[in-house]
């Protein structure tokens, strides 16, 4: 046996210490609350579509939980981001700064606005945008013209910045807000992965002009498919509701639409699931923290592998638990992925960097040294809340 095989085997052993020997998915939802009850109530009401009491309640419950003044529920996180960017003023031929290390939905939402993603590097503590590196880059590569940040190379306006809270860990959002302010950028937060994550006590997604959440089936809580737009600005909240309901002007029977809107409202049946899920969110978050502790304990014996921990000053939802291989072990990433998946423990690497995907290969990008290094070293491991309950 060579040492390569030994590390893979030791990782499998550490994982099995926590998750057992049965096949285990990366992330599965838990439905042990009022899910069936609320679904039935929704069916009995006959309001299953874009209007209904559960949508109103879900929005209100999310506002309470996140501290956001206004919440607009939509069909998914991608549509939330699309509308948030449009409301932030992102339009045709604008550039938008976005981490290269993200799920493709972040970049796609920019494309839907007719805008161009401009990829930026990450830092290794939170895996979010590296504010210092970005500040330096913008200082040398952009100029301010009539209060707009202009990319010297492309002559296009850089309109906005979209930090993403990777795997649930809060980015250094205050440093990023300072960069946004200094370079005249609107900040829109992609908090798709970070429901339940806080930065200095404030919920992620509530720092920017607008923020967005996702309730896809693989997220901490799910509505089947779903998302939400967060904002503290009442006018933007009204515009978000208007744009996501086909821009129909309210009237008892007339059909007047005053702009090109979207069919993006969350159906009531999905919101009924969301209301039940949200009731259990606090205990799920505790279970996920407990799972981190269990993994941390199991991996103490493997010094070549670190478990990604919430950055100091933040409280993470630990959406996806993350192994970071030592740089010297990065060449073993695929061996570990192969062996873990072959024994039924679902693991996966980070996303391919956006700048390396065919549809985005020609977009502007800063040097991505850290993001590129981290992608070689990241392995996500099973993260379902139920794995954190030691009695299971």
Interface residues with its own copies (CB under 8 A) are 28-29, 31, 35-36, 39-40, 43-44, 46-51, 75-79, 103-105, 108, 111-112, 114, 216-218, 222-225, 246-248, 252-263, 265-270, 273, 337, 341, 347-352, 357-359
Which CB, 315 or 333, lies closer to its own copies? Answer: 333
Distance of CA 363 to the CA centre of its chain: 22
* CB 40 to its own copies: min, Å: 5
Which CB, 78 or 151, lies closer to its own copies? Answer: 78
Distance CA(256)–CA(240), nearest Å, equals 17
* CB 218 to its own copies: min, Å: 7
* CB 191 to its own copies: min, Å: 16
* CB 174 to its own copies: min, Å: 30
Which CB, 225 or 311, lies closer to its own copies? Answer: 225
* CB 106 to its own copies: min, Å: 11
- CB atoms inside a 10 Å sphere around CB 3: 9
Distance CA(217)–CA(227), nearest Å, equals 11
Spell out the residues 6+ positions from residue 212 whose beta carbon is closer than 8 angstroms to its own: 77, 80, 81, 84, 188, 189, 190, 191, 192, 205, 227, 228, 229, 230
Which CB, 105 or 213, lies closer to its own copies? Answer: 105
* CB 182 to its own copies: min, Å: 31
Which CB, 327 or 341, lies closer to its own copies? Answer: 341
Distance CA(374)–CA(323), nearest Å, equals 11
Which CB, 44 or 392, lies closer to its own copies? Answer: 44
| Burial class of residue 282 (count of CB atoms within 10 Å of its CB; 0-12, 13-18, 19+) | exposed
């Amino acid at each position: 046996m060579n040492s390569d095989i030994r590390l893979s085997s030791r990782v499998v052993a550490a994982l099995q210490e926590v998750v057992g020997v049965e096949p285990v998915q990366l992330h599965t939802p838990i439905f042990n609350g009022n899910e069936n009850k609320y679904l039935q109530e929704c069916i009995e009401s006959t309001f299953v579509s874009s209007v209904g009491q559960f949508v109103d309640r879900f929005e209100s419950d999310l506002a309470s939980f996140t501290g956001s003044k206004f919440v607009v529920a939509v069909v998914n996180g991608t549509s939330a981001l699309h509308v948030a960017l449009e409301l932030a003023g992102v339009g045709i031929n604008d550039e938008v700064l976005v981490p290269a290390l993200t799920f493709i939905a972040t970049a796609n939402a920019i494309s839907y606005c007719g805008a161009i993603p401009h990829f930026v590097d990450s830092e290794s503590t939170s895996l979010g945008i590296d504010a210092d590196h970005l500040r330096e880059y913008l200082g040398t590569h952009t100029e301010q013209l009539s209060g707009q940040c202009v990319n010297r190379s492309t002559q296009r306006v850089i309109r906005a910045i979209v930090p993403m809270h990777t795997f649930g860990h809060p980015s250094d959002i205050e440093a990023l807000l300072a960069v946004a302010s200094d370079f005249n950028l609107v900040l829109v937060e992609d908090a798709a992965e970070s429901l339940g994550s806080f930065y200095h006590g404030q919920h992620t997604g509530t720092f920017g002009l607008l923020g967005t959440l996702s309730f896809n089936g693989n997220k901490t809580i799910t509505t089947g498919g779903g998302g939400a737009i967060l904002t503290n600005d009442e006018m933007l909240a009204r515009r978000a509701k208007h744009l996501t309901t086909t821009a129909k002007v309210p009237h008892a029977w007339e059909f007047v639409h005053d702009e090109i809107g979207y069919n993006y409202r969350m159906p009531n049946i999905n919101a009924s699931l969301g209301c039940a899920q949200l009731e259990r969110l606090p205990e799920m978050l505790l279970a996920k923290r407990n799972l981190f502790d269990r993994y941390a304990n199991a991996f103490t014996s493997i010094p070549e592998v670190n478990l990604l921990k919430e950055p100091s000053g933040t409280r993470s939802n630990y959406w996806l638990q993350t192994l970071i291989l030592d740089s010297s072990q990065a060449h073993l990433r695929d061996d570990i992925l192969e062996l873990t998946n072959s024994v039924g423990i679902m693991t996966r690497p980070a996303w391919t960097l956006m700048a390396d995907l065919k549809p985005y290969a020609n977009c502007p990008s800063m040097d991505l040294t850290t993001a590129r290094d981290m992608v070689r070293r990241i392995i996500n491991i099973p993260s379902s809340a139920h794995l954190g309950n030691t009695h299971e």
